[in-house]
A and B are shown apart, each in its own frame.
Chain A
Amino acid sequence: MRTILNKTAAILLLSLTALSAKEVTIYSYRHYEADKKLYKQFTAETGIKVNTVKAKADALITRIKEEADKCPADLFIAADVGRLVKAQEEGILQPATSELLQKQVPKALRDSNNFWTGFTVRARIIAYAKDRVKKGEINSYQDLMLPKWKGRVIARSSSNIYNQSLLSAYIANHGEKKAFLWARAVKNNMAREPEGSDRDQMRAVAAGIADACIVNTYYVGLLTNSKNEKDRQVAEKLAICFPNQAENQTGTHINISGGAVCKHAPNKANAIKLLEFLTSSKAQSTFSETTSEYPLIRENATSKLLKSWGPFKADPIPLDTIGKHRKAAAKTFLKAGWK
């Protein structure tokens, strides 16, 4: 009797440990509902349960650091390369890769030391009012410095990470001094102090408050596909420009959402599997439709809107360089008085 009991206990225990290994825990800054659907699909295919903790990237980094070797997180997901690099600098990640990942993710969109892997791409572009700005009048980020744009430009606050990454790239390409001059000149050309989100900037441009604004590509997608008719009307009034496309120019600034395996990940193999899933062609094909983000291979975007914009030249600067200049960028913005 006792042996039977012992055996059942042992089997139970074994199956419990087996069960517990059939999971992966993500600490994620991405709050998208579409991601949740992808995780469900992943569970259906692999039987691996996905647990999520969602918070701001920096809070998650602090949390992983404090939890140290007791941290249940397998995967850290951020919506910006700056945070991934910060996590790496804080020593909470481990290098992790697989043949599949190497194959699926273009080299420029993953860390050279395999600490992180991108899975979606967005570009920071200039949107302008069709009726007041002629096509070709704005061609580069630098154009926004010109006196002719005085009182005609708006952008969101400098504490926003997308602006900071843009300026980090500027610093990496042109140096701190030039970045300061750019930020200062654009700030002086602003029609109003920065307020609101990227979406709000576009609404203000459509209303005539300003003629051009700096926004991320997927926000244009959000407006175009919004449930709110007013938003769609806003999108109607705007045209976009991928800046710095000329041959001697840097190309449009891009950024990624990406994942990284945590240093003390209890389920490292599952974390890699999830990254492989997110970068697989099946998952990749969904992003352009659901969140209006570009897939890793931009030409594969299926959404009508993204296709209509056509191909563009992206700034080839390594993404980790952008991450490394993020503090200098924040400081430069503060100095330039860009609120």
Chain B
Amino acid sequence: MLNKLRSLPWLLSTLLIAAIAASPLYFILTEVQKPTQEMWEFISEEIEIPADPADTSPPENEPSPLQNYISGSLIMLAGVTTLTLIIGISTAWLTTTFRFPGRTTLTILLCLPMAIPTYVMAVMYNELLEPHKFSLFLWIRDTYSPAAAAQCSIYWKFTLAILILSLSFYPYVFLAARMAFKKQSQAYIESSRILGRSITSTFIRISLPLARPSIIAGLTLALLETINEFGAMKILGIETLTTGIFSAWLDFDELNSAVRISAIMMLIIFTLLILERLLRGNKKFHTHRSAASENPGITTSKSNITIIYTTTLAITTLAFILPIYKLIQQASLALPDQNLQPYLDLILSSSWLAIRASILIIIAATLLAYTARITPKWWILLTTKISLLGYAIPGAILGVVLLSVKGTLHQSADSTAQWLFHTTVTGLIIAYAIRFLTVGFNPIEAGFKKINHNLDEASTSLGRNKLTTLLKIHLPLLRHSFLAAAIILFVDILKELPLTLILGPSNNDTLATKTYGLFAAEERIPEGSIPALILVATSLLGLLILSTILKDKQP
């Protein structure tokens, strides 16, 4: 009983966070229960092409737009899953298992693509590859047929989209897998090696299964980003559920149909998450020794090192160096007549916004993860999972949903609403928190999982309460997780667009909105490349500062 009472503040904090984070879900559920609108019925039916004398093509039934959206999304998900897993896990394994000169530098290089917003990457790859795309198209058209060329351009855009998204999102898997491999108990690895397994076999039989929860967490983020990607899909001309949501909302003025499509999307995501949880069952993945013993890596032959360098540098070149090269080249075209002074303020305000939001998210995520640890009841786990669903809602839909929350506030407590949304950016920060809670939660939860429960019990038996245990035992052990969370959060929020545009107060320009304005609205690539480049540089600076802190703190 006493124990239960002690957990009460933790339970309450979790419920409070869940209540705030789930407010958009409530809105979505009520919308879905309303009768369907015209567009919903229209897009879910197959298209019948009426007989028409002027139309020479034979009458045919085409798949419904909804089927197109779903298949587009599934192709993207399948492709990105495969590629991010291959790239993320292999690079993480190579850079943790082996010890070689330049390992830290390579590790940092592999994280850098995170600093480039996906739509910027898409624009730059378009610039880079367009001539080749054109020559391929013309060659196929002239050697085979125009129809084959048209078909080829469809394959091209899907391949390119999968490549771009995977290059953008593999760092999620890389970071998660790397942390897992690094923290793996050496006892397991050494036993396996002594028992005669090769390094590769040890990796497949021991390291990989042990790293599974972390890798899945990283992959989940990559997939959620993929399914919600709008900018790059638009640029490359691919129809997915997310572009369908926008079409329903913008072209048909049917917010209800848009919400309905996002509900389908969330259902897919929720099913995937639950499925993974069921498959994982009750297995525990913490190490049996103190987590402090880190994998130091083994030395290896010169030829192996060459292979490692070639793979990682090839990936870095594709994911970072090439797009940055193009970005710099474009920016230099517009640089001569630009006044860079205003950008300084923009860097400071954008970073400060991202820092504040990151701190709020890390605190909320720690509360959630710790409550789930000390009270591992099914309903707590469910509440936690529900609070994390903000990431599954497309940014713009979340923005619109929060607008209606804001509208309600204006009517009931106007001064609070004014403060939240008009005089300060507090409302925007809370919106970021709802959207990015998962991003902060995953590494922190994974970090908690790696801490042996015996430590908690020892602390309790020594008479420490839950708060002291958290502060004195867990927080120091979790610092790697916090930094991993902080890195991803800072960079993600810096790049965030839809919420910033929809909910921001007056005159709230950020580097991302500035880039967007020039790229998307004005289509002035050279001019837009300047804020884009500054955005990337700011993210990089954040990454570097955090990774320096990380290195200093290492024992």
Which residues on A are within 8 Å of B, measured CB to CB?
25, 29-33, 51-56, 58-59, 62-63, 65-68, 70, 72, 79, 86, 145, 147, 150-151, 157, 159, 161, 164, 181, 184-185, 188, 190-200, 203-204, 207-209, 219, 222, 226-228, 291, 326-327, 330-331, 334-335, 337, 339
Can you list 23 A-B contacts with CB-CB less than 8 angstroms, sorted by A residue number? A29-B521, A31-B517, A31-B518, A62-B255, A68-B410, A72-B506, A147-B56, A150-B146, A151-B141, A159-B243, A159-B246, A184-B49, A188-B55, A194-B237, A198-B523, A209-B138, A222-B523, A227-B334, A228-B330, A330-B247, A334-B47, A337-B49, A339-B239
A31 B506 Cβ-Cβ under 8 A: no
Task: Report chain A residues within 8 Å CB of B153.
Answer: 192-193, 195
CB atoms of B333 and A227 under 8 A apart: yes
Q: With A54-B513, A192-B150, A335-B47 known to touch, is A25 a contact of B526 (CB < 8 Å)?
A: no
- Is there contact, CB below 8 Å, between B134 and A209? yes
Taking CB as reference atom, which chain A residue is nearest B417? A70
| Chain B 138-156 interface mask (CB, 8 Å, partner A; 1/0) | 1001000010011001100
Residue with the highest number of chain B CB atoms closer than 10 Å, among A51, A145, A327, A334: A334
Given contacts A59-B396, A86-B253, A191-B146, contact A181 B54 (CB under 8 A): yes
**Distance, CA A150 to CA B498, complexed state (A):** 39
Q: CA separation between A184 and B399, bound complex, in Å?
A: 35
Q: How far is the CB of B497 from chain A (nearest CB, A)?
A: 10
Contact for B504 among A53, A161, A190, A222, CB less than 8 A: A53
Interface residues in B13-49 (C-beta closer than 8 Å to A): 39, 42-43, 47, 49
From A53, A191, A198, A207, contact of B505 by CB (8 A): A53
Q: Which residue of B lies closest to A59 (CB)?
A: B502
Contacts of A222 in B (CB 8 A): 522-524
Tell me whether A68 and B407 are in contact (CB under 8 A).
yes
Q: Which of B137, B253, B506 is the most central at the interface, judged by chain A CB atoms within 10 Å of its CB?
A: B506
Q: Which of A65, A164, A196 contacts B251 (CB 8 A)?
A: A164
Q: Which residues of B lie under 8 Å from residue A204 when comparing CB positions?
A: 134
Closest chain-B Cβ to A86's Cβ sits at a distance in Å of 7
CB distance from A13 to the nearest CB of B (A): 18
The minimal Cβ–Cβ distance linking B213 to chain A, given in whole angstroms, is: 37
Our pick among A32, A55, A195 for the contact of B236 (Cβ within 8 Å) is A195
Do B403 and A157 have beta carbons less than 8 Å apart? Answer: no
Given contacts A72-B422, A181-B52, contact A54 B250 (CB under 8 A): no
Q: Considering the complex of A and B, which 9 residue pairs feature the smallest CB-CB distances, nearest first?
A: A195-B237, A66-B407, A31-B517, A330-B251, A31-B521, A51-B506, A55-B501, A151-B146, A207-B134
Q: Is B507 an interface residue (CB 8 A)?
A: yes
A-side contacts of B400, CB under 8 Å: 59, 62
Task: Tell me, rounded to whole Å, the shortest Cβ–Cβ distance linking A120 to chain B.
Answer: 14
* B188 in the interface (beta carbon within 8 A): no
Docked CA distance A159–B246 (Å): 9
Tell me if B65 counts as interface (CB < 8 A to partner A): yes
State which of A59, A70, A151 has its C-beta within 8 Å of the C-beta of B410.
Answer: A70
Measured CA separation A227–B334 after assembly (Å):
6
CB–CB A56/B501 < 8 A: yes
Whether B410 lies near A66 (C-beta < 8 A) is yes
* CA–CA, A63 and B520, complex, Å: 21
Given the known interface contacts A32-B522, A67-B407, A334-B65, the answer about A196 and B333 at a Cβ–Cβ threshold of 8 Å is: no
Picked from A29, A52, A150, the residue with its CB within 8 Å of the CB of B507 is A52
Q: How far is the CB of A305 from chain B (nearest CB, A)?
A: 16
Asked if B445 is an interface residue, CB under 8 A from chain A, the answer is no
CB-based nearest A residue for B52 = A181
- A208-B134 contact, Cβ under 8 Å, with A63-B403, A68-B411, A86-B253: yes
User: Which chain B residues numbered 228 to 242 have a C-beta less than 8 Å away from chain A?
Assistant: 234-237, 239
Q: How far is the CB of A30 from chain B (nearest CB, A)?
A: 7
CA distance A200 to B126 in the complex (A): 10
Given A208-B138, A334-B47, 14 further pairs, Cβ under 8 A? A31-B522, A53-B505, A53-B508, A66-B410, A67-B406, A157-B237, A159-B250, A159-B251, A184-B52, A188-B56, A191-B149, A327-B251, A335-B47, A339-B237
Partner of B527 from the list A33, A62, A196, A339 (CB cut-off 8 Å) is: A33
Closest CB-CB distance, A326 to chain B, in whole Å? Answer: 8
Q: Which residues of B contact A30 (CB under 8 A)?
A: 521
Q: Which of A33, A55, A207 has the most CB of B within 10 A?
A: A55
Contacts of B502 in A (CB 8 A): 55-56, 59, 63
B157 lies within 8 A of chain A by Cβ: yes
